[in-house]
Structure 1
Amino acid sequence: MSRLSIRWRLTLWNTVALAVLLLVVGVLIYGLLRHAMLEQTDRVLIEQFHELEHDLQSVNNPEARIRHWIEEFHEHAGALCIVYEDEKVVARTEQMAEQSVPLAPVGTTHNIRFDSREMPLIGRQRTLTRALDANDRRFDVILMLPMDEVHEELGELATVLLTVLPLSLLLAGGFGYALARRALAPVEQIRQATDEITAEHLSQRLDVPNANDELGRLAETINSMIARLEQSFAEVRRFTADASHELRTPISVIRAEAEVAMNQLPDAGEYQALAGSVLEECEHLTKLTDQLLTLSREDAGLVPLESQPLNLARLVATASDVMRPLAEAKQQTLTVGGLSEAIVAGDADRLREVLYNLLDNAIKYTPSKGRIEVSVSAEDGMIAVAVRDTGIGIDDEHLPRVFDRFYRVDKSRSRDAGGTGLGLSIVQSIVSAHGGRVDVISTAGEGTTITVLLPRKDADSAT
């Protein structure tokens, strides 16, 4: 069954369901008709018996009246009758053959008993058996009506049902197959259209003739998936191009320095300057590859995240102390304020990297004698760490893309400042892994505020 197409499976299941339904209905109709016909036959037998019983209540010679009524039964209703007394036949229908006379009933009571039996020569009969008292005598009466007409009508009904059932199944199967084919035709169209969409044609979309049915919603879901793939492919292409550009610059510098050293035969001082330049570019390459590796491992979920209660305020103070010499070298003021205890659940090393990246950016893009303020506060169940600077700021057009990889607001100054364009991407990745978010507010020429919000954790102690 699993190897069949959905079209055939729907057809088979519908046909089987219809076959069961028709079989149940057919059996029900046959049973109801048989029951109704037997009830009608039994009613005729009861009426005849009651006529006999009523007439025998006030006669002195019951045998004569019995014979009279036996003839009446046969003449008007075609019924056969046998009356026994002490297991001997007192009277019976004359037209009835001797071989067809049944044995005297045993244990007959005044309760009517119906039965269907096969009788020699006269075939199947519906019988009524009951004891009858008349003139202090006890008689056992058997009334019989032939069931030939009942069997004939039931046989005709069975023939009709057995003829209609396979024809109905055949027609229903054909109609079901055509209906399944028509219903599943859009699925085949979706399959063919999806098969034509490749990495080079991700701009194509599936037609959605009816957005309200299941197939329309499926097509919309596939279109949404293709849109996400298109965006992902675009990001991968841009990321690859940006990474290639970032890697090509230091490699070109190293190659040029090496060619100068080989072709111009510089003196010892020049050799030292060339070696320093090469080391500087190598350092930049090392930083770039480390950050790329970090992001790749983050994307793949390969970096284990330790979640331990820690005092984020203490972590902020420690990171600020580490970065303060860099700020003082540019005659900048770095201050830390706010809560002295702010407990979150997280990885201390990863969150320390977040703080280093934020402080490093603030120091790089804040001019000499500028100010950098770091504050820790509580906001609606979250701990907020805000890093404010009086730097060059960011234009509104650049704000939506500051977390894009390799994106730089000031492309002419970033490399001179030692940036790679990956710092904020790493910050967002780590904060998201902790269940938090990063907000950016900036005004060009006035400064930038980057706020990290992490879920607050109630704890008695923290590392």
Structure 2
Amino acid sequence: MRALSRTSLTQRLTLMFALAASSVLLVLGFVIAASVEQHFEDLDMEVLSGKMELTRQALRTMTSHEALTQFTHQLAQSLVGHPGLEVMVIDADHSVVFATGNAHFSPEVVVSQATRAPGRPAFWALGSHTYRGLAAHIPTAALDSSGSPVKVYVAVATDIAQHTTYLRAFLKTLWLFVAAAVALTGVLGWAAVRRGLMPLRTMREQAQVVTAQQLSHRLPVQHMPVELAELAQSLNDMLARLDEAFTRLSDFSSDIAHELRTPVSNLMTQTQVVLSRPRDVAEYRSVLESNAEELERMARMISDMLLLAKAENGLVVPARETVDLAREVRALFEYYEAVADEKNLQLSLSAPSAVPVLADRLMLRRALGNLLSNAIRHANPDSCVRVTLAQASEEVTVTVENVGDTIAPEFLERIFDRFFRVDPSRQHGDGTGLGLAIAKSIIVGHGGTILATSSGAVTKFTIKLPVTPMLTPLTH
């Protein structure tokens, strides 16, 4: 089995093709040989049966021992012109009454055959000759002392040497032809398999072109056989996924380098300036406090990026429990109330008394908190941030909307990308640029969807989460 596993596909298919063809040819050879032999047997049996019936009819007219002598003379004359045909007549005492020149069969063998299997062909060997014969126990018209018909044993045989010689030569020719056909089938099968597997070699050559720098290369599908076309399409899909993952990884690395370069540069510059000359304690404290803020921002950014990396690779598995969205939104309103008061914003919730979903409480609160924080940050002063909860039979809809600058359609397509900011001037604000990306990852991880729209100075984020039955009753 291990040796077969190391055999090439061409060799395997050629071997299986040759074995299948050999089996068919061998079976065909045996059928032909059996048919020819049966044909010769039928010819012999036709002659032997005719002579046996002729002998049977003649014996029915024999009424005395003198008639038996006359019968033997008639039988000898009837065999003239039938070379190779031998006849033997044996009386009840197992004495040979009549026999042709070469009919030296053992009377016991003839009597046994006539008694055990009358009318069935048998093979008798005399020296170098082989005969096919029939034996029968035939009654005559003569009567014995008890008044019963006198019976004699009759054997009719024909020399099958000519048939045997022909059959031996025929079988030799047949098996030589079968051997040659098997060899030719193997060669033709190898050529056909090699020709048929040529698309596989083409796929291998094309696959060797694919490198980390050329992940966009695709295998040809149009001119492939149906089976290989499916394989090529699967490989192309795999390459597309690898290309997308590699692009995401490259973009992720670029984003990390870009976002961390500025705070690291600021820390280095501030530290170098402070160390350039002696300063008092207050100046050192001020610089250290500034550095601590930058480090905290970097720590949040790294933590957020780690969460996104896990989410994109399916490593975030929410610990689901029954969560009341209305209660969570009210709790977030209390948390962001001070920030909203600074801009004189009103926080409004429109929802049923309880909106239960099966979700990870902390992660879902983080997603809603990111959306609410984003809405407060970009809302116009003296406006209202509205959160609406609606429950249907199959899903729960959450909308967060604020009044502020309208987001252009081309920016809406990228608003959930990492580190993307509609206003570049806010590049160094308090946020890390990962809030919406994290919110989308959490919502998608819960089997939901999130969509952003913006028109007429109103920006709205819409979340749809699947509804599942409550597992535990909600408490208020």
Q: TM-score, normalized by length of structure 1? A: 0.91
Q: Does 1:440 align with 2:452?
A: yes
| Cα shift at 1:396 | 1.0
Residues 190/10 of structure 1: CA separation in 2 closer, same or farther (3 Å cut): same
Deviation at 1:170, TM superposition (A): 1.6
Match of 2:355 in 1: 342
Task: Work out whether residues 113 and 130 of structure 1, in 8 Å CA contact, stay in contact via their aligned partners in 2.
Answer: yes
Task: Report what 1:12 is aligned to.
Answer: 15
Whether 1:165 and 2:178 are equivalent positions in the alignment is yes
Q: Is the 8 A contact 1:343 1:462 kept in 2?
A: no
Aligned positions of 1:205-220 closer than 5 A: 205-208=218-221, 210-211=223-224, 213-220=226-233
Does residue 142 of structure 1 match 2:155?
A: yes
Tell me, yes or no, if the aligned pair for 1:398 and 1:409 is still in contact at 8 Å. yes
Residues 1:127 and 2:113 aligned together: no
1:50-449 correspondence to structure 2 within 5 Å: 50-60=53-63, 61-62=67-68, 64-69=70-75, 71-73=77-79, 75-76=81-82, 78-96=84-102, 98=104, 103-106=109-112, 108=114, 112-121=118-127, 123-135=129-141, 136-208=149-221, 210-211=223-224, 213-379=226-392, 381-416=394-429, 418-443=430-455, 446-449=457-460
User: Structure 1 pair 313/81, CA: closer, same or farther in 2 (3 Å)?
Assistant: farther
Structure 2 vs 1, CA of residues 460 and 238 (structure 1 numbering), >3 Å: closer, same or farther?
A: closer
In 2, the alpha carbon distance for the partners of 1:18 and 1:434 equals 58
Offset of residue 291 of structure 1: 0.3
Shift of residue 128, structure 1, vs aligned partner? 1.4
Q: CA deviation at 1:266?
A: 4.4
Structure 2 unaligned runs (5+)? 142-148
Checking the alignment, whether the CA contact within 8 Å between 1:344 and 1:457 is kept in structure 2 is yes
CA distance in 2, matches of 1:361, 1:63: 133
Contact 1:442 1:449 in 2 (8 A): yes
CA change 1:393–1:35 in 2 (3 A) is farther
- Separation in 2 of the partners of 1:379 and 1:439? 18
* In structure 1, distance between residues paired with 2:232 and 2:189: 24
Structure 1 position 209, deviation (Å): 5.2
CA shift for structure 1 position 62: 4.5
User: 1:42–1:269: structure 2 CA closer, same or farther, 3 Å change rule?
Assistant: same
- Cα distance, 1:5 vs structure 2: 1.1
More moved, 271-280 vs 23-32: 271-280
TM-score calculated relative to the size of structure 2: 0.88
What is the deviation of 1:142? 1.7
Report the CA distance between 1:267 and its aligned residue. 4.4
- One-letter amino acid of the structure 2 residue matched with residue 373 of structure 1: R
Q: Count matched residues.
A: 461
Q: Per the alignment, do residues 211 and 172 of structure 1 end up closer, same or farther by CA in structure 2, a change over 3 Å counting?
A: closer
> After the TM superposition, which of the residue ranges 128-137 and 50-59 deviates more from structure 2?
50-59
**8 Å contact kept, 1:390–1:447:** yes
1:461 counterpart letter in structure 2: T
Q: CA deviation at 1:87?
A: 4.7
Greater alpha carbon shift after TM alignment, 189-198 vs 304-313: 304-313
Cα deviation, 1:202-221, whole Å, max 9, x if unaligned, reads 23333445155333343343
Letter in 2 for 1:315: E
Letter in 1 for 2:34: G
Deviates more, 1:67-76 or 1:427-436: 67-76
- TM-superposition CA deviations, 1:7-30 (whole Å, max 9, x none): 111111111111111111111221
Residue range with higher mean Cα deviation, 102-111 or 143-152: 102-111
Query: Cα distance, 1:248 vs. partner?
Result: 0.9
Deviation at 1:109, TM superposition (A): 5.0
Aligned to 2:33: 30
Q: Do 2:370 and 2:435's aligned partners in 1 also have CA atoms closer than 8 Å?
A: yes
State which drifts further: 281-290 or 85-94. 85-94
Aligned equivalents of 1:142 and 1:370: distance in 2?
A: 127
Equivalent of residue 450 in structure 1, options 445, 461, 475: 461
Equivalent AA in structure 2 for residue 41 of structure 1 = D
| Change in CA separation of 1:107 and 1:219 when aligned onto 2, cut-off 3 Å | closer
Q: Give 1:245 shift.
A: 0.8
Q: 1:110 to 1:242 in 2, by over 3 A?
A: closer
In the alignment, the residues of structure 2 paired with residue 67 and residue 415 of structure 1 have an alpha-carbon distance, to the nearest angstrom, of 135
The structure-2 alpha-carbon separation of the partners of 1:62 and 1:329, relative to structure 1 and needing over 3 Å to count, comes to farther
> What stretches of structure 1 of length at least 5 have no aligned partner?
none
Deviations for 1:373-401, whole angstroms, at most 9, x for unmatched residues? 11221245111222122232421112222
User: Is the 1:110–1:131 contact (alpha carbons within 8 Å) kept by the matching residues of 2?
Assistant: no
SS in 1 for 2:216: coil
Farther off after superposition, 46-55 or 249-258: 46-55
User: 2:146 corresponds to which residue?
Assistant: none
